[in-house]
Amino acid sequence: MTKTPYAELLAMLSRHRGVVGSFVVSERDGLAVDSNVQIGVHAEAVAALAAALHRKARLACGAAGCGVVTFLRLDAEKGGILAAGRDDLVLVTISEARANIGLLRVEMMRAAKALT
């Protein structure tokens, strides 16, 4: 399989403690452009749903006059979903509760700037 320009970026995110997977997703299509996930993660489903979530957040922020969404964090019982987008591409990370969200946020914000 051909290596995409996002492979190293995703590998870097996946090396963080508590990260079970990361993707680059097209927000419009809800399809994963590239992913680096642990076995057992339903990548296609998470990619489609996270892209829809990011899109709704972007529209909500636009409607509320908050401007462009820079970072989205969804906390759940056993972990969470983090997303940072640029144009049509969204960088999504699935994390466990033990992950260092602050560090991940910084890394994702930096990485999202490089998404093209």
Partner 1 sequence: MMTAVESWIEEPLMTFINDSRVRIAVLLESSGRVLAQHGFTRSIDVMSACALAAAIHASAAEIGRQLDGTPFKTMHHPGRERQIFLGELATGHGAHILLTVFDDATSIGLVRLYFAELSRRLAGAAAATSSAPPTLVDFESDLNRNLAKLFGRI
82 class by beta-carbon count within 10 Å (0-12 exposed, 13-18 middle, 19+ buried)? buried
Site for partner 1 contains 53 (CB under 8 A): no
**Cβ 81 to partner 1 shortest distance, Å:** 15
**13 to 25, 62, 103: CA distances (angstroms):** 15, 28, 10
Q: Which of 11, 45, 60, 97 binds partner 1 (CB under 8 A)?
A: 45
Residue 29 or 96 having the CB closest to partner 1: 29
Q: CA 100, CA 81: separation in Å to the nearest integer?
A: 13
Q: Which residues contact partner 1 (rule: CB under 8 A)? A: 25-26, 28-32, 44-45, 47-49, 51-52, 55
